């Protein structure tokens, strides 16, 4: 029984007022859903939105956290600060942070440990570039991203990891992986996890697809047996689109 999850990643979009409006609009249109619905919003919005969503089925995610819990790290925010605000999830390993902030598997592994130590669940992003796919190394590359970042966790800890497969060439480009490509990679990811933790644990881990997922392709993607929902960027910035993806 895997949890189906739709998470909206607002990235660095929406000022606080606009964020409140979007959140209210989602709340108004959201019917009871058997899916977990998560909003990954800018840090500055978390405490205000935490009040807005109280009593609803929405959950909040941070878009990053530091790998230490406290200290002289000007401008950084720690997992304990998020946990203290009532945040449930943190996105780690997003390709934009790997690219623009030069985050590598080693650093992301430390962040995973810090987040889990504060009882945050981790949405761990992995995925290949177009060059890597064309070179035929995409399966090995994604396996390495998983092995190096979460394979040190024990059987209980790994259950707090949600994997988001996000082919870098599909993020924000309008180009989506076909449902075949996505399903094929999700099966691969599950088998990599099974090789370490066994089939039962692997079958319980939610694996989300991310990369230009929108109302027009969500149903086809989510109908695949190993796709357990989506991490949604651009289409999460509009309540109607986001709701229609949740319903897909
Ligand atoms: C993302 O950045 O996580 C993402 C999936 O973006 P988009 O949906 O805009 O491709």
Predicted confidence (pLDDT) per residue in 176-214, tens digit: 899 999 999 999 999 999 999 999 999 999 999 999 999
Statement: residue 226 has pLDDT above 80: yes
121-126 and 36-40: which strand pairing? unpaired
What is the reported pLDDT for 134? Answer: 92
Asked which of 6-20, 162-176, 184-198, 208-222 is least confident by mean pLDDT, the reply is 162-176
Q: What is the DSSP string of 6-74?
A: EEEE--S---HHHHHHHHHHHHHHPPP-SSEEEEE--GGGHHHHHHHTTTSSEEEEES---SSSSSS-T
What is the reported pLDDT for 31? Answer: 81
- How much is the average pLDDT of 142-160? 98
Structure tokens at 220: 């086809």
Residue nearest to atom 3 of ligand 1 (CA): 233
What is the reported pLDDT for 163? Answer: 98
What is the reported pLDDT for 67? Answer: 98
Give 183 Cα–ligand 1 centroid separation in angstroms. Answer: 18
In the block, residue with structure tokens 């177009």? 130
What is the reported pLDDT for 33? Answer: 73
- How much is the average pLDDT of 126-134? 95
Statement: residue 1 has pLDDT above 80: no
Residue nearest to atom 8 of ligand 1 (CA): 233
How many percent of the chain have pLDDT more than 70?
100
> 36, 166, 186, 188: which one is catalytic?
166
Statement: residue 34 has pLDDT above 90: no
Statement: residue 165 has pLDDT above 90: yes
pLDDT category of residue 83 using cuts at 50, 70 and 90:
very high
Helix (H, G, I), strand (E, B) or coil at 156: coil
Atom number in ligand 1 closest to CA 213: 8
Instruction: Report residues whose beta carbon is within 6 angstroms of any ligand 1 atom.
Output: 9, 166, 171-172, 210-213, 231-235
pLDDT category of residue 231 using cuts at 50, 70 and 90:
very high
Statement: residue 51 has pLDDT above 80: yes
Asked whether the beta carbons of 8 and 38 are under 8 A apart, the reply is: yes
Atom number in ligand 1 closest to CA 164: 3
Tell me if residue 220 is catalytic.
no
Closest CA to 193 of 238, 233, 146: 146
CA angle 76, 81, 85 (to 5 degrees): 135
- How much is the average pLDDT of 98-107? 98
> Measured between alpha carbons, how far is 94 from 92 in angstroms, rounded to an integer?
6
pLDDT category of residue 91 using cuts at 50, 70 and 90:
very high
Atom number in ligand 1 closest to CA 234: 9
> 45, 66, 67, 94: which one is catalytic?
94
Asked whether the beta carbons of 195 and 222 are under 8 A apart, the reply is: no
Tell me if residue 188 is catalytic.
no
Which residue among 91, 208, 213, 236 has the greatest number of ligand 1 atoms within 8 angstroms of its CB, and so is best to mutate?
Answer: 213
What is the reported pLDDT for 174? Answer: 84
DSSP 32: P
Atom number in ligand 1 closest to CA 11: 2
pLDDT category of residue 172 using cuts at 50, 70 and 90:
confident
> Measured between alpha carbons, how far is 45 from 182 in angstroms, rounded to an integer?
32
Asked whether the beta carbons of 213 and 176 are under 8 A apart, the reply is: yes
Give 229 Cα–ligand 1 centroid separation in angstroms. Answer: 13
Give 5 Cα–ligand 1 centroid separation in angstroms. Answer: 15
Helix pair 215-222, 239-247: axis angle to 10 deg: 20
């Amino acid at each position: 029984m895997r949890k189906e999850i739709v998470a909206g990643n607002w990235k660095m979009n929406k000022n606080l007022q606009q964020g409140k409006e979007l959140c209210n609009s989602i709340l108004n249109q959201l019917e009871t859903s058997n899916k977990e619905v998560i909003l990954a919003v800018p840090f500055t919005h978390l405490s205000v939105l935490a009040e807005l969503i109280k009593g609803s089925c929405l959950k909040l995610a941070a878009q990053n956290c530091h790998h230490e819990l406290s200290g002289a790290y000007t401008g950084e925010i720690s997992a304990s600060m998020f946990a203290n605000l009532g945040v449930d999830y943190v996105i780690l390993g997003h390709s934009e942070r790997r690219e623009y902030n030069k985050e590598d598997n080693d650093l992301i592994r430390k962040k995973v440990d810090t987040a889990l130590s504060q009882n945050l669940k981790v949405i761990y992003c992995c995925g290949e570039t177009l060059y890597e796919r064309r070179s035929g190394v995409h399966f090995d590359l994604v396996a390495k991203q998983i092995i190096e970042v979460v394979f040190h966790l024990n059987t209980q800890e790994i259950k707090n990891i949600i994997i988001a497969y996000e082919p870098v060439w599909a993020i924000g480009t309008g180009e989506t992986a076909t449902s075949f490509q996505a399903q094929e990679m999700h099966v691969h990811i599950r088998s990599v996890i099974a090789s370490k933790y066994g089939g039962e644990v692997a079958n319980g881990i939610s694996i989300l697809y991310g990369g230009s997922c929108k109302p027009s392709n969500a149903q086809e993607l989510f109908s695949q047996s190993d796709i357990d929902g989506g991490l949604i960027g651009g289409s999460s910035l509009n309540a109607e689109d986001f709701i229609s993806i949740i319903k897909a």
